[in-house]
Structure formats: C-alpha cells, structure tokens
Amino acid sequence: MPVQKILTFPHPLLKKRAHLIARVDEHIRGLIEDLVDTMRAGPGSVGVAAPQIGVSLAACVVDVSNNRHGKENNHGLLIMLNPEIVAADGSAVMREGCMSVPDYTGEVERATAVTVKYLNLHGEQQTVAASGFEAVAIQHELDHLDGILFLDRIVSLKTGLFRRKNYQ
C-alpha cells in the first residue's frame, strides 16, 4: 500500500479521540498496511497511529527493533487495534519527537513498563508487556488515539521543549 501523508499539528483530527474498531475486515487490513508503510518511510519513525494519517480509528503500529534505543528489547512489529494500557509501572523522563510535530522535540515523563491489551489482525485479544523504549513508543502512539500529543505532556514548557535541529 502507499505511504500516507502525515497530518501535522494543529490539524484538528490530531486532537480527537479515535473510534473503536467494530470489525476487522479488508478495510482495516489495508489501513494497517498503510500504517506500516508510512512508519517505515518516516525518518527515524518507530510508530504511527491511524489519526496521524487522517483516519479516526483506534489502530496503531509500533516497531522499535531498528532504533538504537530499542534494538535489544523489543517485540518486533506490533499491530494494535483498540489498544488499552491495563498496567503501568515506573517513571522516566525521555526526549520525544513526532512526525506530526516535525519541528520540535520535548522532555516527556512516561511509565517505564506497560502491559497493553489489544486486538490483532484476526480480531483476537492479545496482551503484550513492554519495557524501556518500546513502552515509551507504545504510550506515545496510544496517546494519539486519545487525541493527545507529546506537546500536551511536556514536563516543562519553559525548559522541556526544543526546536529540532535536524529530522532523522
């Protein structure tokens, strides 16, 4: 499927809660292909959520396996439909960026470990326990499904927001 255009802040769809997926069908499978292709084409991207490509459905993909921060601790490509964090533990502040906010990065506090339940592409309930960078990436993408951007979670607007020098 083709790489999709990423919506950028302040597009209003980025601030809306995505709709739950009622049925996994060919339309949803095509959406996931678009998300994976778009993620892989993005510079340094480790995830993308459906609202970022203009689709208000609760679907996202995450894959930190090719990123230096996630290379040693990951589950590979995660395809998550209707995901929900059911447990979270720990806390750390980490610098985040986002294809929907291409000119900035920011210091965001996130849980260091999460357990997420979701549906896979067969409509089956799954659970994954993630930690470290993968847990942060999952939380970032799930925020997109709730209409939350990392800008909403900056630890300090005065000292925690940075203009991006280059995009990679």
Q: Which residues are catalytic?
A: 141
- How many alpha carbons fall within 13 Å on the CB side of residue 5? 5
* Full DSSP string of 56-85: -BSEEEE--TTSTTTTTS--S-EEEEEEEE
Query: Would the CA dihedral through 52, 153, 118, 21 be positive or negative?
Result: negative
Residue type, 83: P
User: Would you say 32 and 59 are in contact if contact means Cβ atoms under 8 Å apart?
Assistant: yes
Residue type, 108: V
